[in-house]
Amino acid sequence: MSRQSIRLEERFQALPPEAQRQMLAFLAFLEQRYRMARSRHPKKTLRSYAFVGLWREREDLKDSRRWVRQVRQQEWGK
């Protein structure tokens, strides 16, 4: 247990019983709130986005280095 968590526990224990109940109720509220927020916004993998694989059929993009080189040459003449 870290020093900070021990200090927090000591501070909690120093509170009167009613304040301890309020702290526990507030903690339960925060846990519920953030549990709901996480469930509404599940983490997506990169592959789940529509743009992934969008250009997989394009022959001109098979070699990305070559494609970038060609674009640079066309745009900047180098």
Side-chain-facing half-sphere of 28: CA atoms under 13 Å = 6
Looking at the domain assignment, is residue 60 inside a domain?
no
Looking at the domain assignment, is residue 27 inside a domain?
yes
| CA 17 – CA 32 distance, rounded (Å) | 23
Structural domain that includes position 33: 1-41
Instruction: Give the tens place of pLDDT for each residue, 11-42.
Output: 999 999 999 999 999 999 999 988 876 766 66
Average pLDDT, the chain: 84
Comparing 76 with 56, the larger pLDDT belongs to 76
In this structure, what token pair is assigned to residue 67?
Answer: 């494609």
Q: How many domains does the chain have?
A: 1
pTM over 0.75: no
In this structure, what token pair is assigned to residue 78?
Answer: 């180098």
Percent of the residues in the chain that have a pLDDT greater than 90, as a whole number: 31
Looking at the domain assignment, is residue 74 inside a domain?
no
Close Cβ partners of 46 (under 8 Å, ≥ 6 residues apart): 52
